[in-house]
Structure 1
Amino acid sequence: MATVTSSSAAQRQDPRRWWALAALVASMLVLGFDMTILNVALPTMAGQLDASTGEQQWMADAYVVVFAALMLPAGLLGDRFGRRRMLITGLGIFLVGSLIGTLVDSVELVVVARAVMGMGGALVMPLALAVLPALFAPGERTKAIGIVSAASALGAPLGPIVGGWLLDHFWWGSIFLINVPMVAIGITACVFLLPETTDPSSPKVDVASTALTAAGLGALIYAIIEAPVRGWGDPLILSMFGGALALIAALVLRERNMPRPMLDMSLLRNRGFLLNTLAATLVMFVLSGLMFVLPQYLQAVLGHDAFGTGVRMLPMMGGLLVAAKCAEPVVRRFGPRSVISCGLVVLAFAAILGSRTTIESGYGFTALWLTIAGLGFGFAVVPAMDSALGALPVERAGSGTGLLMTVRQVGSAIGIALLGSLLSSVYVDRLDTARIPDAAADAAGESVVAAHAVAERLGVSKLADSADEAYIDGMVTVLLVSGIAALVTALLVAALLPKATPAPPDAADMARRATDARQ
């Protein structure tokens, strides 16, 4: 297909455009539920692959770290070499990663598969929105962007359900296999239905900045995940922290001196953008951490199967979707500063309430604070993202979107790493392994799932009870830290966010502005 400009393509009402939109919806749906489908599978995979808590963190974080590091250059690659071409390439890479995940049988190869999928996802996410102006005129574009965005959002609650059902009926590799037919359909539809578009005037991809981002994030995440095992004072851990700091500092200095930076740090001088980005990132930090610790509590401690675990995580997703839908009118009435602050306070209350969980607490109590947490998430993150972009001039909305999405993904990766490491430290410290062999004790300290397997093999029921109590102690600590972080952020937003922040337009229109700015 010929390369066309966005403005001319938008005027051409191709009758195939809705079929093409369906292909993009399928692609975004896969990305959406792949963000959460692994979480419900981690307890099963930990048992079958003998994965420690740190290794589980790597399986979850490999996708997010690569995704965050490559999303900005991926968007620029699409601008330079063709959005349709790079979107198809991203889907192909994601397909390869899914096939690897289906076939492997070791933790290391699962991490590799997740990293490859992160590479593909980094291409698909920004370009799926960027191709819409080539398909739809402005009158239809808002609706199309809303549909694509909804598909991505819908994937998050579907992930635990789909993953749980697959694990109850098939092997754990099926959570990767489910991607294959959907991605294959997306590739086929993109080949035959999408026109090609480019923007030669966009900034060039900076290989050095991309390498600094990936290396800095990788070193930071490695240090956080491995510190509970090696010790926070271990020379390797300290050198990794130092290296991460140096690499990220070099990235900031390089980008500040670039005439057309790939990562526009000057946007952070805008106080409204900075504080709203901080709030959205904190929410993703907490959400990712909770999605990591909850499935093991529901499966290993409360004894639910994988599908039951997915269903029991729905109250949080339900609360989030309800709040996201209701956020716009509430923001129009009270202003973004009040709504974001209150959302963060609600989130803090839910986390602190959850920190009251004991070994006797049933699922009813968990469902209560999960629902409240979902409401807090929704009322904080949606206005924060809209207000962050609304604080910028329209001509900078494209670069602002890239920076905001990148920082959010970094928050997700650090949330899994930091909160997961905190959980692991408390769990190992509280686990009672005094009366079992050293080898068994080491295995039980890897994860609560491993402790249950050791207890069953040795016939020591007290070990399983101790593991449950130790895991709850770790989860309680994670929730308490999350609640305090949310409360501090709420106070910062309430005190420092400019009072005159304009009410944001609706989310779909904001996405349209961001996409148009990239064109």
Structure 2
Amino acid sequence: MRKWLPLTAVCLGAFMLLVDVTIVTVALPDMSADMDTGFAGLQWVMDVYALALAALLLGAGSLADRIGRRRVYLGGLGLFAAASLACGLATGPAELIAFRALQGIGGAAMFATTMALLSGAYQGRDRGVAFGVWGAVNGAAAAAGPIVGGLLTEQFGWRWIFFINLPLCALAVWVTLKAVAESRDPHAKGLDLPGMTTFTAGAAAVTYAMIRVGENGWSSPATLVLLALGAAAFGAFVLVELRSSRPMLDLSLFRSRTFVAVMAAGLLLSGAAFSYLMYVSLWLQSAEGMSPVGAGLVLVPLSAAAFLVSAVAGRLLHGAPARLTIGGGLLLIGVGALLQGWMLDAGDGWSALVPGLLITGAGVGTATPALAATAMGAVAPARAGMAGGALNTARQLGTALGIAVLGAVFHAGLRSGLGEAGHGLSEPLASGGAGQLLAAAPAGAAHETLAGLVDAAFASGLRETFLASGVMGLAGALAVFLLIRRPAAVPPSAGTVPPARTAGAPAPAPRQ
């Protein structure tokens, strides 16, 4: 059993960093009540973690190749643990958001090194087993996040969703020191700091602009300035990468239509399938009165369907055209989101979402297995690691931008549903205050009127959100069908990870 200790160390880290993408979802109403956090603050608590992962994955992989993968992994574990402790002790939303960003930096260091550590620790059949277990742990993390978060929040308080990471990090550090050997790339080049800086600035500015839209509107000076800054930063990133002798991302990869399609698919899949779940959780707990555990259980059909369909699709659709598996999966994701919007009316409960969640999960499970293999198969073998890292970056960026964009849509839908009669209630409802508003209302006709207004507002906000998610899913499917014209099969090596670069991890199993 000693030979599986490196796998244990890597899986502990992967489980923690992926659980922390979703574990916060069901704790948001309690965070809002405890810290008096507004809607934008709640968005940032979710967004800044995914944003840090997206911005630093490729850079962390390059650093690990150069100074040592075990060293960077251990550094990531240490930073993740310290940031988790700080998140649990935070006294205000600004502190919590800052420490969540540090968590994301630690998570990027861990995520960027896991596959390279497994590649170095195992060979032959053992490597296949290790990668299979790693993929199963990723899927379990996506499904477990809302449940674990709900249990901890309900029994011990929301701060324990962060404190629980401390013993797990300590165990992962101990096993890593005991069983994982150091490795590095003797041919690794230096870091692309200008590329990392401009990409991070662009992603942060655009995300912040989308979050401000909910408060200020699309035409406000603040929104327009932030969007302009984001566009300028991304333009600078392109110039830097074109001129750099050691680019973080080789832009010549985008000469491949298939690679462009896969990047678009990864971005839109995460945005369409998972980004609306925080708004669903706010509705379930604040307006429907469900417990954190109950809200977490409502979200399980999506993760469970994705996990089961992914396992089945990996066998039954092996060798099927990538345009069918990826495009068809995105089509299902879009249909699932639209079905949720169509079935949800004012006064409906959580059961109206289940059919759409199952279809969306089936779409995620159909598309995900082929994404990484197709991305790496669309480029030269020497660039396979960079292609895999770019896909992971696209998926995390899709989550961050999706939360921001759908937040603006959700907030606008709330205001529309409230109408003139509920002017001024949109912010309390968006930040999880429906329960307090209803509890404070006097019994009788006034309470019934307010309850009807709250139901109408959330139905309107969520319908608009599901519509936007559905459009994203269908747009992704259209991009895949148009760009991947040649019905090439997924490479036979699908699921095999080249050990050439640290950042070449395939896209993880579905995460919310």
What TM-score results when the alignment is normalised by the length of structure 2? Answer: 0.92
* Distance in 1, Cα, partners of 2:320 & 2:204: 41
Match of 1:455 in 2: 438
C-alpha contact 1:98 1:177 (8 A) present in aligned 2: yes
Q: Which residue, 248, 254, 269 being the options, matches 2:255? A: 269
Gaps of 5+ in 2: 506-512
Query: What is the identity, as a one-letter code, of the residue corresponding to 2:466?
Result: L
Q: Is the CA contact 1:203–1:261 (under 8 Å) kept in the aligned structure 2?
A: no
Task: Find out whether 1:315 has 2:301 as its counterpart.
Answer: yes
CA distance in structure 2 between the aligned counterparts of 1:470 and 1:242, rounded to whole angstroms = 32
Gaps of 5+ in 1: 1-14
Any residues of structure 2 matched to 1:347-496 within 5 Å, and which? 347-356=333-342, 357-431=344-418, 434=421, 441=424, 445=428, 447=430, 449-459=432-442, 460-461=446-447, 462-496=449-483
Q: C-alpha deviations, 1:399-440, integer Å up to 9, x for none?
A: 1111111111111110011011110122133325748xx9xx
Q: Give runs of aligned pairs for residues 64-103 of structure 1, distance below 5 A.
A: 64-103=50-89
User: Does structure 2 retain, via aligned residues, the 8 Å contact 1:387–1:501?
Assistant: no
Matched, 1:497 2:484: yes
**Partner of 1:284 in structure 2?**
270
* Residue 192 of structure 1: how far off its partner (Å): 2.2
Distance 1:456 1:516, change over 3 A: closer
Match of 1:55 among 20, 29, 41: 41
* Selected match of 1:197 from 180, 183, 186: 183
**Residue correspondence of structure 1 range 6-45 to structure 2 within 5 A:** 16-45=2-31
Residues 16-25 or 159-168, more deviating = 16-25
Equivalent residue of 1:509, what SS?
coil
Task: Label 1:517 to 1:277 Cα distance change in 2 as closer, same or farther (>3 A).
Answer: closer
Query: Distance between the aligned counterparts of 1:228 and 1:501, measured in 2?
Result: 42
Q: CA 1:445 to 1:133, structure 2 compared with 1: closer, same or farther past 3 Å?
A: closer
Q: What are the Cα deviations for residues 312-362 of structure 1, in whole angstroms up to 9, with x where unaligned?
A: 111111111122112223433642212222222222221111112112333
Distance (whole Å) between structure 2 residues aligned to residue 110 and residue 158 of structure 1: 23
Paired residue for 2:206, among 220, 241, 248?
220
**TM-superposed deviation, 1:206:** 1.6
Deviations 1:195-225 (A, max 9, x none): 1111131231122211111111111111110
- Give secondary structure in 2 for the equivalent of 1:508: coil
Aligned to 1:73, the other structure's residue is in SS state: helix
Alpha-carbon deviation of 1:458? 4.1
The aligned counterpart of 1:250 is 236
Aligned residue type for 1:476: R
For residue 392 of structure 1, report the CA deviation from its aligned partner. 1.9
Check conservation: 1:145, 1:511, Cα contact below 8 A: no
Q: 1:515 to 1:146 in 2, by over 3 A?
A: farther
Q: Which moved more, 1:228-237 or 1:169-178?
A: 228-237
Deviation at 1:79, TM superposition (A): 0.9
Do residues 107 (structure 1) and 93 (structure 2) align?
yes
CA distance in 1, matches of 2:327, 2:50: 27
Provide the secondary structure at the position in 2 that maps to 1:131: helix
- Conservation of the 8 A alpha-carbon contact between 2:384 and 2:498: no
Query: Structure 1 vs Structure 2: percent identity of aligned residues?
Result: 31
Higher relative contact order (CA 8 A, sep 6+): 2
Q: Contact conserved, 1:340 with 1:383, CA < 8 A, in 2?
A: yes
Q: State the secondary structure of the residue aligned to 1:313.
A: helix
* Cα 1:240–1:509 shift into 2, 3 Å: same
Pair 308,269 (structure 1): closer, same or farther in 2 beyond 3 Å:
same
What is the DSSP-based 3-state SS (H/G/I as helix, E as strand, rest coil) of the residue aligned with 2:356? Answer: helix
Q: What one-letter code is carried by the residue in structure 2 that aligns with 1:246?
A: A
Find the counterpart in structure 2 of residue 7 from structure 1.
none
For residues 440-499 of structure 1, what are the alpha-carbon distances to aligned partners after superposition, in whole Å with 9 as ceiling and x for unaligned? Answer: x46854526223313322435233431232122111111112212222322332233132
TM-superposed deviation, 1:504: 2.7
**Displacement of 1:53:** 1.8
Which structure 2 residues correspond to residues 150-189 of structure 1 after superposition, within 5 A?
A: 150-189=136-175
Aligned match for 1:296, one of 282, 291, 296: 282
Separation of aligned partners in 2, 1:70 and 1:333: 33
In the superposition, relative to structure 1, how do residues 144 and 334 fare at CA in structure 2: closer, same or farther (>3 Å)?
closer
Relative distance call for 1:333 and 1:79 in structure 2 (3 A) is closer
State the secondary structure of the residue aligned to 1:196.
coil
**Aligned counterparts of 2:431 and 2:348: Cα–Cα separation in 1:** 18
Bigger drift between 284-293 and 250-259 goes to 284-293
CA contact (8 A) 1:283 1:377 kept: yes
Give 1:58 deviation, angstroms: 0.4
Contact 2:373 2:494 in 1 (8 A): yes
Provide the secondary structure at the position in 1 that maps to 2:244.
coil
CA contact (8 A) 1:132 1:144 kept: yes
| Aligned mates of 2:503, 2:62 — CA distance in 1 | 14
For the aligned residue pairs, the C-alpha RMSD in angstroms reads 2.1
Q: Conserved in 1, the CA contact under 8 Å of 2:410 and 2:461?
A: yes
Which of 102, 122, 125 lines up with 2:108 in the alignment? Answer: 122
Q: Once structures 1 and 2 are overlaid, which stretch shifts more, 456-465 or 186-195?
A: 456-465
